[in-house]
């Protein structure tokens, strides 16, 4: 029993010395994704709160599609389409076709805006999840990947997090473009507002180290977005060739049993 107690105590002491990372996963990611697992294998204590996020998977409680299905306007459109189909089957043809065409036209006109609204709701929910997780984990370093990078950027822009941050192909500008939102807490009404989160992020970069990794060959999030993010700010952009958007090569171990990302974590903590 004493030996087991000593082992538990040694394990506690070891964990105290480990660098604590809060990893915000990507759009289709999960808490035990490859980057998280690889960082844990390199000796980091990694916490990755599950955002239950996806574009289309209905089994994810925070998916964009689920939020789309909850929107009242989308439900009305579906009801009109259903009524049109039922009328064609059981009632007269021409009025039914008119109802069906009305539903199709309504959906075609509004689907892009409705999808953007649903994505906005999903994003805000992700930000809320990570905001609640921050004081619970109290990380030494925050890492955000793609969609998770956008969430991390918004946390910084709001002042919810002020510590060392590493962003992997961060997607905030892409989220802003897709949702048409500015601060992401309220609808944008002008070009100036659309840049509000980015502007506040740049302003806060002088008070905290922020490091961005982005691959020029990224075919999901434009590399230029990170170039613009680093411009006129204290944010450091490192251009890499690391497997495209996934940036998995950053996390692969080298001969010294660490990785480019692992070295960057230690470097940013030493600043």
User: Where do we find the tokens 């996806």?
Assistant: 54
Express as a percent the part of the chain with pLDDT over 90. 72
pLDDT tier at 189 (50, 70, 90 boundaries)?
very low
Report pLDDT for 92. Answer: 67
The percentage of residues in the chain with a pLDDT greater than 70, rounded to a whole number, is: 87
Max Cα–Cα distance, the chain, nearest Å? 84
* pLDDT average, residue stretch 194-220: 91
| Between 63 and 11, the higher pLDDT residue | 63
More confident residue, 22 or 184: 22
pLDDT-derived band at 135 (thresholds 50, 70, 90) equals very high
Decide which of 184 and 237 is more confident.
237
What's the CA gap between 97 and 74, in Å, rounded? 20
> Domains in the chain, start-ordered, CATH in brackets?
19-57+133-269 (3.40.50.1820)
Phi, psi of 94 (to 5 degrees): -65, -45
- Confidence check: pLDDT of 90 > 50: yes
Average pLDDT over residues 28-52: 94
Query: How many of the other CB atoms lie within 10 Å of CB of 67?
Result: 22
**Would you say residue 186 has pLDDT above 60?**
no
Would the pLDDT of 177 be above 90? no
CA–CA dist 71, 69 (Å, integer): 6
Mean pLDDT, rounded, of the chain: 88
**Strand pairing report for 210-215 and 45-47:** unpaired
Side-chain-side CA neighbours of 140 within 13 Å: the count stands at: 18
Question: What are the b/e assignments for 30-65, b being 16+ CB within 10 Å?
Answer: eeebebbebbbebebbbebbebbbbeeeeebebbbb
pLDDT exceeds cutoff 70 at 83: yes
Structure tokens at 83: 């009524």
Angle at 29 between CA 140 and CA 15, to 5 degrees: 30
Q: Is 51 left (phi over 0), alpha (psi -120 to 50) or beta?
A: alpha
């Amino acid at each position: 029993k004493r030996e087991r107690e000593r082992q538990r105590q040694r394990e506690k002491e070891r964990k105290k010395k480990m660098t604590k990372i809060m990893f915000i996963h990507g759009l289709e990611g999960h808490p035990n994704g490859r980057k998280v697992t690889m960082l844990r294998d390199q000796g980091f204590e990694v916490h990755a709160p599950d955002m239950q996020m996806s574009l289309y998977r209905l089994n994810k409680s925070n998916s964009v599609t689920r939020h789309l299905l909850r929107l009242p306007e989308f439900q009305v459109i579906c009801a009109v389409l259903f009524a049109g189909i039922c009328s064609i089957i059981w009632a007269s043809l021409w009025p039914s076709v008119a109802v069906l065409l009305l539903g199709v036209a309504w959906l075609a006109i509004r689907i892009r805006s409705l999808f953007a609204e649903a994505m906005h709701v999903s994003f805000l929910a992700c930000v809320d999840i990570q905001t609640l997780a921050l004081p619970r984990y109290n990380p030494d370093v925050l890492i955000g990947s793609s969609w998770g990078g956008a969430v991390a950027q918004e946390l910084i822009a709001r002042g919810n997090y002020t510590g060392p941050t590493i962003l992997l192909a961060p997607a905030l500008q892409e989220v802003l473009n897709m949702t048409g939102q500015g601060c992401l807490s309220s609808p944008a009404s002008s070009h100036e507002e659309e840049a509000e989160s980015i502007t506040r992020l740049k302003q806060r970069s002088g008070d905290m180290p922020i490091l961005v990794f982005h691959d020029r060959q990224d075919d999901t999030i434009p590399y230029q977005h990170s170039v613009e993010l680093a411009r006129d700010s204290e944010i450091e952009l490192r251009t890499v060739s690391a497997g495209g958007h996934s940036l998995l090569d950053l996390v692969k171990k080298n001969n010294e049993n660490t990785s480019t990302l692992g070295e960057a974590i230690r470097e940013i903590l030493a600043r």
